[in-house]
Amino acid sequence: METEEKKIYTIEDIARELGVSKTTVSRAISGKGRISQATRDRVRAFIKEHDYRPNVVAKGLAQRKTYNIALLMPKDYVATEFLFFKDCMNGICEMASSYEYDIIISMIDGADVSQIQRLEANRKVDGIIVSRAVVSSKVQKYLKNCKEPYILIGPSSDPEVPFVDNKNQEAGKELTSIMLMKGFRNLALLGGNQSYNVTGSRYQGFLEAHEEMGVSVNENLIFMDTDNQAAVSDAVKRLLEEGADGIVCMDDVICSMCLSSLREKKISVPAEIKIASMYDSKNLEYNNPPITSIRFDTVRLGKMACAKLLNILGEKPLEDTLTLNYQVMLRESTQ
């Protein structure tokens, strides 16, 4: 069977077919400038009928835009972050594509800025989204001097740098408060990589809850950088020796490793020790007992980061309705 190749229309073809100028067609599509409703309808009907799609490269050429956004990811991200990135990316891509933007992912190796340099030199992107784990000060300093705007996912200490972030500190505080209100007085904290801001924020929340409730923190029960099984097992061993009555894990992967370590030691949850986590991801979905956890909407976080950047790029009015929050999922592990 002979396959008939579909004609790809240009704005000029439409103008010719409809007996108007290219500018008129462009206006009918963009909605900018003065044009009669009748002409606009005619153009739109033609576009619909012939499935016309504007050439984004040409559009970019005329507007000096690329319609690309860079997403900077850390090259050395650990397993605990995978689900975060996945959800975040879903949100970013969804928001970007609704404005005809595409995402270019660039893996950043420590303080090496060569990837960003290349994107900038080749004018590949209009803006940059920096995932929270790219924290090297050299990278941040470089970005500040970049001509492309950027937004940070995660806390920003610099008031000039736009950012979006989950309410990590508040969530850490609330989760800890819940444990303290249940009467636990010897809480352990298993934290992630200390070079990440999120770890610091959640730790601050943990401390604040103690302070507010007038409970002193047992320094021997604070474990950081427990992002691998060996470190978690060691922490679990020590927190049991120290007589901890509850464990707050900074994320689900840490919690999952912690549960595995407790099982190995035949310590039962929640009968012998309570445990709570943050992030409420698939990692713990089928755990028995169900784990009390903070649920963040990371897809929304990604969407919001992208929306804010699009706003800076002049593409999108900023919606106040796009706010971030979290839910506390109270389950059997803390009962």
Partner DNA sequence: TCAAACTCGGTGCACCGGAG
Partner DNA sequence: CTCCGGTGCACCGAGTTTGA
Q: What is the binding site for DNA (CB under 7 A)?
A: 10-12, 19-24, 26-27, 29-30, 32-36, 38-39, 54-55, 58-59, 61-64, 123
Bridge partners of 38? none
Minimum CB distance to DNA smaller for 102 or for 158: 102
Helix (H) / strand (E) containing 150 = strand 150-153
Closest CA to 256 of 82, 106, 139, 34: 82
Smallest distance, DNA to C-beta of residue 270, A: 60
Residue 191's identity, in one-letter code, is: G
Residues 197 and 174: their CA atoms lie apart, in Å, by 18
Instruction: Quote the least distance from Cβ 103 to DNA, whole Å.
Output: 21
Nearer to DNA, 32 or 266 (CB): 32
Closest CB to DNA among 48 and 64?
64
- State which residue, 39 or 106, has the beta carbon closest to DNA: 39
Q: Write down the least CB distance from residue 32 to DNA, Å.
A: 5
Please, what is the minimum distance in Å from the beta carbon of residue 29 to DNA?
Answer: 6
For DNA, the closer of residues 13 and 332 by Cβ is: 13
Nearer to DNA, 12 or 94 (CB): 12
CA distances from 63 to 141, 163, 220, 243, 292 (A): 28, 26, 59, 64, 50
User: Which CB, 59 or 86, lies closer to DNA?
Assistant: 59
196/133 Cα distance (integer angstroms): 6
Cβ-Cβ contacts under 8 Å for 44 (sequence gap 6 or more): 28, 29
**Nearest distance from residue 5's CB to DNA, in Å?**
14
**Element at 119 (helix H, strand E):** helix 114-121
The CB-of-3 to DNA minimum distance in angstroms stands at 21
Three-state SS sequence of 289-332: CCCEEEEECHHHHHHHHHHHHHHHCCCCCCCCCCCCCEEEECCH
Q: How far is the CB of 108 from DNA (least distance, A)?
A: 24
In this structure, are residues 33 and 27 in contact, taking their beta carbons and an 8 Å threshold?
yes
The length of the chain, given as a count of residues: 335
